[in-house]
Amino acid sequence: MSAAFDQKIHETVTDPRLQLAIYTATGRLIEKRRGAVDDAVLPDYQELRTQANAVKQHTIENLDFYLEQLEENVTAHGGKVVWCQDGAEVADFILKLAKERQAHLIVKSKSMTTEEIDLNERVEKHGLESVETDLGEYILQLAHERPYHIVAPALHKTRYDVADIFERTLGVEREEVIEKQTKIARSVLRQKFLAADIGISGANFLVADSGAIVLVENEGNARLSTTAPKIHIAVAGIEKLIPRAQDLAVFLKLLGRSATGQPLTVYTSMLSGPRREGEIDGPDEFYLVLLDNGRTKVLADEEKRQALYCIRCGACLNHCPVYRKIGGHSFPWVYSGPIGAIITPQFMGTLHEPGLPFASSLCGACAEVCPVKIDIPQILLDLRADIKEAETKQGTNRWERLAFRMWSWVMRRPKLYEMASMMAASLAPSNDGYIRNLPGPMNVGPVAGWLSQRDLPVPAARSFRQQWRRRRR
Ligand code: SF4
């Protein structure tokens, strides 16, 4: 585990205000989801999950076919598809277009894909203004923070924090009433929507057979961002595809329920291409940016590529005991929680944060609630194996390997094992029945670290075998 990861975790678990905010917010989302997928209201919930998993598996296995179909249909509706390898290519495209159209102001609706490539920072470096219009994202942009949660980006902020941020950055009077805070944000953002040259959105789904992008949201800001400005650019990862519009019936039923416990989000928009003749709103130009950024690398791994089925509902975060303790900002990339733990090493490299796949109790809660049935615990185990293999190649885990070899050697010799246990029981320094450290030179780096974080009970004075022998005698 890197020092930065360790430090962030420490900061979060020792902050009672933050702990309360995370527990309260995730607890509320857990309750809402539970009610929304209950047998009484959605008896076919498990079948929907199976179906969603099958559709995603089929799509990912035939991604090339569906991507071509999508491009054909987007083009047929007057849009343009732009293929980008990484964040730099996305920014280059947007900057070039902005220059050609003399655009200065961008309004953005919430999109984890653009967070993933630091799009705001990239375009702002070149003089464009890019404003987040989702309330949570807007608060975080003002606070210069990244999202804390996939679905509820400002989950860790209380209304008092928001009052501080608005007062400091917008120069308004301090306001602690949530409805009034919303009004303040709305009055600023309305002006931005009206003046914006470009609207940027993500996409919850890309529908191959109709060339449409689908956006689900609760605030209406995505609808405004995609229809008010003259240019709409949707930036989406290539894995967001589903084959047919009718498949949406399955995914929309699952997404809202898993994310916020809503049967459907307040707004569901299907957008295909620019405004057509006779239509009263919509952009003049529509671009769909399809981003790879490591996804084809994940695709190559037949076992772990199921991570690409994710529909970013956030349910695995809410139910993860680790996320609920260490929060979203402890994670080393924008994607946090169990889904972050399985995609970060695959996108960023196995050793990007080697402690990440190990930061899990493997309780399986994530897999139980995942609406597309991603086997997160199994992927975590596979990633742990990959990390150990990579460390062995680099020779960075020599001591650990040596310790395990010795352990295995002793374990295969019952007499020796018994003697070692007896010695450990008699030598173990303990005042309270737990071993807190080892004597002298044995109490080194990883061993000391391990003991400082875990309860290791002192071995029983007599082993099971000794007790058994005694009993028989
Ligand atoms: S992995 Fe599953 S539960 Fe987690 S965000 Fe993705 S779809 Fe939701």
Q: How many CA within 13 A on the CB side of residue 250? A: 20
216 C-alpha to ligand 1 centroid (Å): 16
338 C-alpha to ligand 1 centroid (Å): 8
Q: How far apart are CA 294 and CA 90, in angstroms?
A: 14
Report field, pTM of the whole predicted structure over 0.85? yes
Tokens of 231: 């240019």
What residues does ligand 1 touch, defined as CB less than 6 Å away? 150, 258, 310-316, 339, 369-372, 374
Q: For the structural domain made of 297-394, what CATH number should be given?
A: 1.10.1060.10
Q: How far apart are CA 91 and CA 107, in angstroms?
A: 15
Residue nearest to atom 8 of ligand 1 (CA): 313
From the alpha carbon of 258, which atom of ligand 1 is closest?
8
Do residues 317 and 307 touch, judged by C-beta distance below 8 A?
Answer: no
**Phi, psi torsion values for 400, nearest 5 degrees:** -65, -45
Q: Which sign, positive or negative, has the C-alpha torsion 345, 120, 73, 216?
A: positive
**What is the C-alpha R_g of the chain?**
26
106 C-alpha to ligand 1 centroid (Å): 29
Quick one: pLDDT at residue 446? 66
Quick one: pLDDT at residue 441? 66
Helix (H, G, I), strand (E, B) or coil at 82: strand
Model pLDDT for residues 271-297, shown as the tens digit of each residue: 999 999 998 889 999 999 999 999 999
From the alpha carbon of 369, which atom of ligand 1 is closest?
3
412 C-alpha to ligand 1 centroid (Å): 42
pLDDT tens by residue, the chain, 473 residues = 788 888 999 999 999 999 999 999 999 999 999 999 999 999 999 999 999 999 999 999 999 999 999 999 999 999 999 999 999 999 999 999 999 999 999 999 999 999 999 999 999 999 999 999 999 999 999 999 999 999 999 999 999 999 999 999 999 999 999 999 999 999 999 999 999 999 999 999 999 999 999 999 999 999 999 999 999 999 999 999 999 999 999 999 999 999 999 999 999 999 999 999 998 889 999 999 999 999 999 999 999 999 999 999 999 999 999 999 999 999 999 999 999 999 999 999 988 899 999 999 999 999 999 999 999 999 999 999 999 999 888 888 788 888 888 989 999 998 888 888 777 777 766 777 887 777 666 666 667 777 777 778 887 778 888 889 899 98
